[in-house]
Amino acid sequence: MSATEQRVAIVTGGSRGIGRETAERLAADGMAVVVVYAGNQAEADAAVENITARGGRAIAAQADVADERAVAAVFDQAEAVFGGVDVVVHAAGRMVLAPLAELDLDDLDRMHRTNIRGTFVVDQQAARRVRDGGAIINFSTSVLALALPGYAAYAASKGAVEAITLILARELRGRDITVNAVAPGPTATALFLDGKDEQTVAKMAAQPPLERLGTPADIAELVSFLAGPARWINGQVVRANGGIA
């Protein structure tokens, strides 16, 4: 495949966890990848090195996903280096857990800035610049269906992500661009495991009928499907949670 024919993916939150696994999976699928990171350049560079060591093409780009100028610059860079953008995976997110009555409102504002405004900003650039035949994939959470205490603010932000996703899919009528959201269940990432004791983790791992936590590779497999062959799945929220709900 020539460079001009190669599909190009932008992956936000690509320096670690699900985002990094997704970036490496899409590169393995044959895409050139822009690994977008907020602050951890070392991890983003490591992801790029892993991809290039396997013969793939990748670059790292820094951006606050809620900053429209920074996000536009990432798309500019993708177009300048790789020739365009075909797939956008918006995996960057922030999670702060506390009962509604106790949550610090500054934490609420920061979380919603990243999760809601960030999704809107990234999707806005994607809607303007993804080439026809492309895919936009956002991240929600299976917590929306589970209604777990402590997750009110986080789940509210992801409810907004689902609304944005479903409406954008319909606004892009005629472009042959799919827009979907992936809603992971409990997945063994640093974001999920942070602050949880072993008993809590074991209890959550036992909930799905498959009786384990998900892995970043489980989620990246679904993203790969939605980014590539799944052209008839559009305007959907796909719950990847081992059957938990």
Q: Could you list the active site residues?
A: 154
Kindly give, in sequence order, each residue whose CB lies less than 8 Å from that of residue 133, ignoring residues fewer than 6 positions away: 86, 176, 177
Pick the closest to residue 122 from 111, 110, 113, 132 (CA basis).
113
Contacts 24+ apart (CB under 8 A), 199-203: none
The three-state secondary structure class of 181 is strand
Q: How far apart are the first and last CA of the chain?
A: 41
Quote the CA–CA distance of 197 and 100 in Å, as a whole number: 21
